[in-house]
Structure 1
Amino acid sequence: MWWAFSKGAVIFKRDDSFNNSPVKRLIFSPPPTPNGDLHLGHISGPYLAADILKRHLLQKGENALYITGSDENQSYVELKARQMQISPKVIANQFSESIQSVLKQYNSAPDFFYRPLYDKEYTKYVIDFFKKLFSSSALKTKISKQPYCEECNLWLFEAHMSGICPHCTSPCGGGSCETCGLPNDCIGLINSFCKYCKTKPVLKETKQIYLPLQSYSKQLKKYLESINLSPRLRGLVRDVLDKGLPDLPITHNAHWGLAAPFDGFENQKLCSWCEMAPGYLFALHKITSKNNGLRNFMNDPKAKITLFFGFDNAYFYTIIMPALFLAYNHSVKLPTEMIYNEFYLFDNLKFSKSRSHVVLAKDIVKKASSDVIRYYLSATRPEFERTQFSYSHFIELINVDLIDGLSSWICDLSSRITLDFDGVCPDGGEWTVEHEEFIRYLQRFLQEATQAYEPKFFSLANIVSLLRELLVRTKKLSLSRKYLSNNNSINKLEYQTSLVLELTSLKYYAIVCSPIMPEFSEKLFKALGISMRFGWDRNVRLMAKGTKIKNLSNCIFTPINIDVFELSDKKDTQYEK
């Protein structure tokens, strides 16, 4: 049987016009609040996942871009500034720069990162957005009673107050509950108190600008039923819509944020959560301006928007943002996919500054490579339930999967290729039933990996599980060398076939893990003679005979020892929320 393929090892290069082609996918993750450094809980959620999806889409030849920014007008920035008795702008600037640095260290820097405090165009875009809503009568003024702290002379909302959720009785801040995801009007919080002086607030009358969300209930229901949502998100939006939507405050009596652009409300600030909607449109406008413009993207039925967020923000992204877009302009393209994550815990507890219970992303990346951390966070990503990080489990999983499993196989394969075939991929030989089954398995592996990366099925945990199984199956195949080691010609031909299949398996390991471990996979591509790191096959193609395998033994990971993680890492107190 003649079965060698001359181009088997080649990943086809994308069209040269790719970089000038229209954007077909925009990926958004929530702008992190710059009131502290990013911890592993943040990285494990939307930020790493968004980067990995973008990398996979690029592999498939899709022009995808990833966008996020800094939520610099958020009330939590003011909270941190008041606690530290320094300017909110200093806090926002310090941690916005730190956030960008950490994302870069994890090879997950976005294509566009916006900074509201330093972008006049951003401010104008947001202000114009709300002016249009107001002039179209989508917004209304309303007098109501709101929590007020007489001790601090401060209106309480969002970050400035705490209490018990009236829906699930969990500890809760103003606006929404991180645990159950349901909104609250701040007044309804049980046993509410001021975050600064801990006293109980009084109710004081005030006038604010609101968006009547209930007016968009039918449109929201139709939209949300048209897209693929996870079971928990479906349950949340149905519950919220069934209860009836509240009026959404567009302005707050606050000292920090963008000034409200409405006559008579100059002393109020725009709600930072509402600001995110025009903020996303601004980013979308900026990043598509070089690719045939925003209008073409909005009118393109093939263009898609994928949105990542944590469940604690689900109400804002499933209800508030779409409602604001519907009120603004019905031609605005709404997200086509929403991918959420649950909380990532640290030794069974939420990451918390106040309890000195945190693992800062910038600290652990000094002790382990970004690829290693990306792999672990993918394996333990809290996709549908809470998962957790622990130092012992991190070290155990990495040593088992990437050292004892992957690296030992690569070293063994490198040795055999060098000794038996002078570092060159051999020609194919005799096929056996084991070989036939393995090639069918590789095809199934590729199909399942393709599905696991698709936004509607997106699961990094499944990708890691597939990679683990690929290692087990391939190692089982490699054992054949022990029984085919003599000079019998048929044995040698069977052994050659096994070697080709092993190299093919390693090629697909590199391709599938590339979005998760980009630095490792790039080394592996070079060692295997693969010309492009961007590429995704629909069908398995065998490694070509004569392919030179170079420096394969250098594509390994080093063992991790728990001694490299000092106790001080567990006591860093930079981040609270």
Structure 2
Amino acid sequence: MNTRTFFVCPAPPCPNGKLHLGHIGGVYLLTDLFVRFQRMRGHRAYHVTGADEHGTYMVVKARKLGRPIDEVAQLHIDEIMDCLRAMHIEPDVFIRTTDATHKQNSLKIFRELEAAGYIDVRDGHQLYCENCDEFVADSLAVGLCPACDASTDSNLCENCGLAQQHSKLRAPVHTSCGKPLSLRPIEQAVFDIPRMAAMLDDAIKGSEWDQTIQRKARAWLRDELRPLPMSRIFDRGVTLEAPAKIAGQTLMTWFEGLWCFETGIRLQCARDEVNYDTVMRDPDTRLLFFMGQDNRFYYTIGVTGSLLARGYPLPANHSIQDFYKLEGEKFSTSRDHALWADEVSRQVDPSVLRYALARIAKPFGTNNNDFQIGELIRSASHILAWESALRRDSLHSANVDGSGLTPAHDDIVQRYITAMDQVRFWNALDLIDEYFVATGFGTSPETWRPVHVSVFLSMLHPVMPVLAERYGNVFFGENWTPALGANATLLATPPRATAEFPPFGMPIADSFIRQYQSRFQRAVDAA
């Protein structure tokens, strides 16, 4: 097996608040699972993300608080990192889009696209507030989507995924003053996607992307193809000095903000003392993006197009999740319908939360990602059942079954590997259950099966690393490392110790359940 390099890049959060469990579960946890899995397989895997500080959400939040934008950004970046750490998630590279290095890299990408003939300056329109005497963009303007009639900002409809055009947004108003907006003609840079449409369509068609994701991207190329605006009149962001016609405009954050992945990969390559172009064009390098449904269009069309146009390979895959719900309703900060990762992890063990959130992941488009207290309770109980079986077996080590995996067991492991490689986490978690049943843990407490135990803990490791390492170290010593391959067959010794620490899957506290029910006004059966 060749050693591969994986750059795994979740969409950069906007630092206008903390991360709730919907953010964690749909994007950053799944990134962490994939990175840990690939490292366990012996590959180089890097978690690369950042903070999108140039988005209009930052302007809205700062105006609301009456504080400087950069001060608000720093506050929330600290909170975001606290939320990630609370869930045992540690990015390898975290890029702030306000950093000079990122701004320079974004301009470099823009110039490369321009040199390749994919940037034009064309006539366009931008929304303008006569009352406030300013051009507005993105979340500073809201209206009705011309495609689905849902409320949307002026950039992207979260309901149907349509990339908005200012000239077609219906009934637009300014979020700052609530007044209707007018249209003013401007010149702006555009990404000439039509020029590369055939190449992009062929690449997507031949990719390993999920079929639903492929269909949506190719449908846009077929039915809605148009150049994508890349610049606007807005005083925050990466400022363009050329072409002269648009000097002073800033790059759209849907390009510049997402390009933090490239800034981060370049930084990691510099750390490793390897050449960026060489690594990115290596057939053993894989680039993957993880995101919620609202980021799908600009990653699959805009970011992918900006890679192909400069001669880089297509992203190997995209992990896209529908918006996570909380008891049937979309997570909402404005309605206080949210659970914050740093707060909940102090009341529920992060290993249990990680497993429960991972179980919610579904194929994109099923729209069935619902966090429920009943499922959290069942997740804790499920984990406790695993732990109880492992503990029973470890108490009686008179008989040691030192055999390796049977073909049937190995088949489950190989299907697990395939599912994880293809970012089908729901299938991988089902295969962990299948493996547990097939090995008969807890049914023969007089026999210790070290290989079976080690492989089971290894399958758990990406989703619950702290739990897996704790049991692995107790049973096999501090040098235990998760492995799904042949080296696990060397572990033909009795357990070194029994697990004397409290189980991770302890029942969810009644106080948390009552608080949860009261806050979200749900009659949930906690039994």
Q: How does 1:526-541 map to 2 (within 5 A)?
A: 526-529=473-476, 531-537=479-485, 541=489
Q: 5+ residue gaps in structure 2?
A: 521-527
Render the CA deviation track for 1:4-42: whole Å, top value 9, x for unaligned: xxxxxxxxxx9xxxxxx9972211111111111011111
Could you say what the CA RMSD is over the residues aligned between the two structures, in angstroms?
A: 2.7
- 2:78 aligned to 82, 97, 108, which one? 97
Letter aligned with residue 450 of structure 1: I
CA distance in 2, matches of 1:136, 1:79: 36
Pairing 1:235–2:215 present = yes
Measured after TM superposition, the shift of residue 345 of structure 1 is 0.3
- 2:334 aligned to 325, 349, 354, which one? 354
1:447 alignment counterpart: 414
Pairing 1:284–2:271 present = no
2:427 alignment counterpart: 462
Q: How does 1:156-555 map to 2 (within 5 A)?
A: 156-262=136-242, 263-276=244-257, 278-289=259-270, 290-327=272-309, 329-330=310-311, 332-384=312-364, 385-386=366-367, 387-399=369-381, 401-403=382-384, 405-417=385-397, 421=398, 426=400, 439-454=406-421, 456=422, 458-475=423-440, 478-479=442-443, 499-501=447-449, 503-529=450-476, 531-537=479-485, 541=489, 543-544=491-492, 546-554=493-501
1:489 alignment counterpart: none
> 1:446·1:538 contact (CA, 8 Å) conserved in 2?
no
Identify the range of structure 1 (552-561 vs 101-110) with the bigger mean alpha-carbon deviation. Answer: 552-561
CA distance in 2, matches of 1:363, 1:277: 28
Distance 1:471 1:135, change over 3 A: closer
> 1:443·1:539 contact (CA, 8 Å) conserved in 2?
no
Q: How does 1:57-76 map to 2 (within 5 A)?
A: 57-76=38-57
Greater radius of gyration (CA): 1
Distance 1:355 1:442, change over 3 A: same
> 1:41·1:345 contact (CA, 8 Å) conserved in 2?
yes
Pairing 1:31–2:12 present = yes
Letter aligned with residue 313 of structure 1: N
> 1:311·1:340 contact (CA, 8 Å) conserved in 2?
yes
Q: How does 1:39-118 map to 2 (within 5 A)?
A: 39-117=20-98
Distance 1:170 1:134, change over 3 A: same
CA distance in 1, matches of 2:253, 2:473: 46
> 2:393·2:444 contact (CA, 8 Å) conserved in 1?
no
Distance 1:398 1:22, change over 3 A: closer
Render the CA deviation track for 1:126-168: whole Å, top value 9, x for unaligned: 2233244445553222223332222232323311122222222
TM-score between both structures, scaled by the size of structure 1 = 0.82
SS at match of 1:396: helix
> 2:3·2:43 contact (CA, 8 Å) conserved in 1?
no
CA distance in 1, matches of 2:413, 2:383: 20
Q: 5+ residue gaps in structure 1?
A: 1-13, 15-20, 430-435, 482-494, 573-577
TM-score between both structures, scaled by the size of structure 2 = 0.90
> 2:95·2:263 contact (CA, 8 Å) conserved in 1?
no
CA distance in 1, matches of 2:113, 2:295: 23
Render the CA deviation track for 1:59-83: whole Å, top value 9, x for unaligned: 1111111111111111211122222
Task: Give 4+ residue runs of structure 1 displaced > 6 Å after superposition.
Answer: 568-572
Aligned residues: 514
Give the fraction of aligned pairs with identical amino acids, expressed as a percent.
Answer: 23
Measured after TM superposition, the shift of residue 506 of structure 1 is 2.4
- 1:120 aligned to 58, 80, 100, which one? 100
1:484 alignment counterpart: none
